[in-house]
A and B are shown apart, each in its own frame.
Chain A
Amino acid sequence: MTFTQLSAREIAQKVQAGELKVSDMLEASLAQIRAVDGDFGSLDGQPTDPETDKKVHAFISLTEELAHAQAQAVEAKVAKGENAGLLAGVPVSIKDIFALENTVTTAASRMLNNYRAPYTATAVQKLIDAGALIVGKVNLDEFTFGSSNESSAYQPASNNPWNTTYVPGGSSGGSAAAVAAEETPLSLGTDTGGSIRQPAAFCGVVGLKPSYGRVSRYGLIAFASSLDCPGPLARNVEDAALILQVMAGVDERDESSATLPVPNYLEALQQDVRGMRIGLSPDYAGIAYPNHATGEFEVIPVQEEIKQATLDAAEQLARQGAEIVEKVPMPHTRYGIPVYFVVSRIEAASNLNRMDGVKYGYTVADARDLQDLYTRTRTEGFGLQPKLRILMGAYLSAASKKVNYYQLASQVRGMIRQDFELAFDPKGAYQLDALLTPTTPTTAFKRAEIFGDSVLMQYADQMTVSVNHAGLPAITVPAGLDKKNLPIGIQFIANHFQEETILRAAYAYEQSTLDAAWRKVRPMALQEVNA
């Protein structure tokens, strides 16, 4: 096993015990990036590598100098016999939507190409304080607006390490690709409608969306403020618990952070699933998708292999003593995407109003007047997908409209939340501890296959988005490979602030499948590296 195949927990333990030099770990991570990543994403990027289509392209920038300084600080602590932190010496990549002081923070947009953050996001600072080495910023859909990474203004966009002609998902696609390609064992992402879980599922890694309020949003460039949630991507459940332990907790700089105490997530993994009630819902068997041509809604069933993997996982957990509760009704799940179209677009349009060429980021030269500055800056600075989201938000929130779409969507959002409240009600008909669902309706799709069809692309999030509407925690874990050798993900959802519950269930499933044949298969991008 090479250093880059070690888990974050193993790295931190070996570093603390003096068995692994932090500088060696950092060099191994940087060497892996050089070996598999190829050209980093850049504005108007032209590939310089003839093998560029076979590369991962997870990164936009490296922060090597910072990582070396952090490595020295950790080594000094270890040498003095001090506790170097839960993430001592662990290389971590950061989605380029988080502020990192004096580092270019682009949101994968021309609009912020030259923006150097004046402060560091709380979630990132907590990682640094726990001994992590921040090795660089990874690619994403522009301003997180997408599910494939293709909308990034920084090209080449990330590829899926399992097959580089497929997308890694999005918007945290660079994070998922970096973790799957063993460039960093952990990555920090964000999830507004499924942006951690969908790419994690597509790339065969673990992705955890904490409860809204569990992790501070301070320093995160906002997309939809009532939905955004920072969270980790990792190669196993224990590492996801480890990094959540570090990041979770109240932050006086984020008024929406929860003041609840943070449980010991690593200890929670030691509890088994005996007696845990895990639900399956027929409302996660397919997606209801509007056909533009007919005007009718069509139900497209979940890919058969994903459905089977979900049922197999239920069986595995039942064998370990969990009680499987079938036919749990979640009737408002199908409205998750229409609600998301309203809430996320209106909030995004509001948040992006601040990008005007005056306060920071991109601006045009020689503007005739203030309006000319605004218009030319926003026209040149935003890509097509942000423009689409801003226009939808502007249209739906126009005061002249007969329908108050935001209010309507918020009411339906309440009904989506009620579905979960009924399912998790300890005195109700189902009394669930967790709901088990597919993470995505299909495995990863090919590059350029869906990009441009903004509706179909959005409906790929139907299995994940309801969780954001309700503010709940959810985790995706790898559950096999399909016939094309593309990863399958399954999702566990629990009630508010019950992260321990989904970590327990996911860990129990993961441990029960450690010897599965599909776990021995390595991503295509790694087959010639460290074989």
Chain B
Amino acid sequence: MQLEKISPEAFEKIVDMAAFALEAEEKAYLLEELNHQLQSVQELLDIPLEESSSSSLINIPRVGDMPRRDEWQAFDVPRGIIERAPQHEDGMILVPEPAGGKDLS
């Protein structure tokens, strides 16, 4: 079977999706390594999957109650989180306008 390879065009798309702006040298290294990793990953395509093989989420045994009810709880000092934002004012995080001044809300 022909092995899948990441084309330069597909690479540019994922770079854009990941919000990176890369130098040519970085691009060359990353694309080569991605294709090496993809070669390894494609070994999985040849494995005969067993009927019984279910997607594996790890079993966490439970004894008695769950750690807590799935209910929202406020953080003790929310201001402590907001103040770690690079730009903030009056308890709100500040961000630049979207490109073209579009309202994304």
Is A370's CB within 8 Å of the partner chain B? yes
Residues 63 to 105 of chain B near chain A (Cβ within 8 Å): 63-68, 70, 75, 77, 80-81, 84-87, 93, 95-100, 104
Contacting pair B56 A413 (CB below 8 A): yes
Is A41's CB within 8 Å of the partner chain B? no
- Chain A residues closer than 8 Å to B57, beta-carbon distance: 226, 410
Residues 406 to 424 of chain A near chain B (Cβ within 8 Å): 407-418
Mostly helix, strand, loop or mixed at chain B's interface? loop
Contacting pair A295 B58 (CB below 8 A): no
Residues of A in contact (CB 8 Å), total 85
Closest-by-CB residue of B relative to A356 is B19
- Chain B residues closer than 8 Å to A57, beta-carbon distance: none
Indicate whether A412 sits within 8 Å of B96 (C-beta atoms), given known contacts A455-B33, A471-B58: no
- Chain B residues closer than 8 Å to A362, beta-carbon distance: 86
CA distance A373 to B18 in the complex (A): 13
Give a binary string over B18-52; 1 marks a CB under 8 Å from any A CB, 0 the rest. Answer: 11111000100110011011111111110101100
Contacting pair A255 B37 (CB below 8 A): no
Indicate whether A118 sits within 8 Å of B36 (C-beta atoms), given known contacts A259-B63, A403-B45, A415-B50: no
Contact of B41 among A118, A254, A341 (CB under 8 A): A341
Residues 497 to 529 of chain A near chain B (Cβ within 8 Å): 497
Task: List 13 A-B pairs, Cβ < 8 Å.
Answer: A255-B67, A255-B70, A259-B66, A338-B44, A376-B21, A395-B38, A409-B44, A411-B49, A412-B53, A414-B55, A415-B50, A455-B33, A455-B39
- Apart from A356-B19, A408-B45: 8 A-B pairs, beta carbons within 8 A: A212-B60, A213-B60, A338-B43, A339-B44, A371-B19, A372-B96, A382-B20, A391-B11
The 7 closest A-B pairs by CB, nearest first: A471-B58, A414-B56, A363-B86, A410-B55, A252-B68, A118-B80, A413-B56
Q: What is A's interface to B at a CB cutoff of 8 Å?
A: 115-116, 118-119, 212-213, 226, 250-261, 290, 292, 295, 297, 335, 337-339, 341-342, 345, 349, 356-363, 367-376, 378-379, 382, 384, 387-388, 390-392, 394-396, 398, 403, 405, 407-418, 452, 454-455, 458, 469-471, 496-497
